Amino acid sequence: MNAPLKPDAFSVAAEIAQAAEPIIRFEKVGKVFAGRRGQKPVTALEGIDLDVPRGAIVGVIGRSGAGKSTLIRLVNGLERASSGRILIEDEDVTGLTEAGWRTRRRATGMIFQHFNLLSSRTVFDNVALPLEIGGTPKAEIAGRVEKLLDLVGLADKRERYPAELSGGQKQRVGIARALATDPKVLLCDEATSALDPETTQSILALLKQVNRELGVTILLITHEIPVIKEICDRVAVIEGGRIVEEGETFEVFTRPQHPTTARFVEAVTGVELPAHLEGQLRETPQAGGSTVLRITFSGANATAPVISRLSATVGIDINILAGRIDAIAGKPFGSLLVAIPAGEPGVGAVLGALKGLELKAEVIGHVA
Say whether 29 sits in a helix, a strand or coil: strand
Please name the residue ranges forming H helices in the chain.
68-75, 98-105, 123-133, 138-151, 167-179, 197-214, 225-231, 249-254, 259-269, 275-278, 306-314, 346-356
Contact at 8 Å (CB) between 199 and 168? yes
Q: Which of 74, 97, 76 is nearest to 84 (CA)?
A: 74
Q: Are strands 22-33 and 83-88 parallel, antiparallel or unpaired?
A: antiparallel
Q: Which domains, from first to last, does the chain contain?
A: 16-107+183-267 (3.40.50.300), 275-367 (3.30.70.260)
Q: Which residues does 208 contact at the CB level (< 8 Å), separation at least 6?
A: 57, 231
CA distances for 220 relative to 61, 92, 195, 223, 282, angstroms: 9, 21, 16, 10, 42
Phi, psi (degrees; rounded to nearest 5) at 198:
-65, -45
Say whether 290 sits in a helix, a strand or coil: strand
Question: Comparing 30 with 106, which gets the higher pLDDT?
Answer: 30
The predicted pLDDT at position 178 comes to 96
Please give the model's pTM, rounded to 2 decimal places.
Answer: 0.82
Say whether 281 sits in a helix, a strand or coil: coil
Average pLDDT score over residue span 350-365 = 80
Beta strands in 144-193 (DSSP E): 185-189
Contact at 8 Å (CB) between 188 and 221? yes
**Residue 43 predicted with pLDDT over 90:** yes
Give 294's strand partners.
337, 362
Percent of the chain with pLDDT over 70: 92
CA distance 195 to 165: 13
pLDDT tens per residue across span 154-190: 999 999 999 999 999 999 999 999 999 999 999 999 9
**Residue 224 predicted with pLDDT over 60:** yes
**Residue 195 predicted with pLDDT over 80:** yes
